[in-house]
């Protein structure tokens, strides 16, 4: 992205938004799959996709149906877009640094310079898609 004179257009990231949407649900409402897409919202109104390959599934006992609660869906959506849980001897802090650094590099490739630590401190909204809202009742 360039402004006048071919210079990169500087803009700030103002918040993160994860959009959660119902992908599939079986007819007995015992199993659902939800996708989650993380975007950075820029001060100039643009949106940059950071992650679009995340999601989760949930299931419930036969004959009872699966009850979704908006607050739990929002929590799960924030969880699946990271940072991941520590593994392989890595600490939570190392995992977080890697995660936010990776997202900052995605933004840098799109011409948006942002510090990873600053990115981690941004407000993070979750928006529930239409199909998911309908499933919540």
pLDDT at 65: 58
Look up the pTM and report it: 0.85
- For 80-131, the DSSP string reads HTSPPPP-TT--HHHHHHHHHHHHHHHHHHTT----HHHHHHS-EEEEE-HH
pLDDT(4) > 60: no
Note the pLDDT tens digit of each residue in 82-136.
Answer: 999 999 999 999 999 999 999 999 999 999 999 999 999 999 999 999 999 988 8
Note the pLDDT tens digit of each residue in 14-67.
Answer: 999 999 999 887 656 678 899 999 999 999 999 999 999 999 998 877 655 567
- Return the residue matching tokens 């004959």: 63
The C-alpha atoms of residue 62 and residue 19 are separated, in whole angstroms, by 29
pLDDT at 64: 56
For residues 136 and 128, the answer to whether their CB atoms sit within 8 Å is yes
Domain edges within the chain: 11-132
SS3 of 55, please?
strand
The pLDDT-based confidence of 137 (bands split at 50, 70, 90) is low
Note the pLDDT tens digit of each residue in 6-17.
Answer: 444 458 999 999
Find the Cα–Cα–Cα–Cα dihedral 111, 96, 81, 46, rounded to 10°.
Answer: -20
pLDDT at 10: 58
């Amino acid at each position: 992205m360039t402004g006048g004179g071919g210079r990169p257009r500087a803009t700030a990231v103002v918040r993160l938004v994860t959009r959660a949407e119902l992908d599939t649900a079986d007819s007995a409402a015992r199993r659902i799959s939800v996708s989650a897409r993380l975007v950075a919202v820029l001060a100039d109104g643009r949106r940059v996709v950071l992650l679009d390959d995340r999601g989760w599934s949930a299931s419930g006992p036969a004959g009872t149906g699966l009850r979704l609660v908006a607050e739990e869906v929002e929590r799960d959506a924030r969880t699946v877009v990271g940072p991941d849980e520590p593994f392989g001897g890595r600490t939570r802090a190392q995992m977080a640094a890697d995660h936010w650094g990776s997202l900052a590099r995605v933004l840098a490739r799109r011409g948006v310079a942002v510090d990873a630590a600053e990115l981690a401190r941004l407000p993070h909204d979750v928006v529930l898609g239409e199909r998911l809202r309908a499933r919540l009742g």
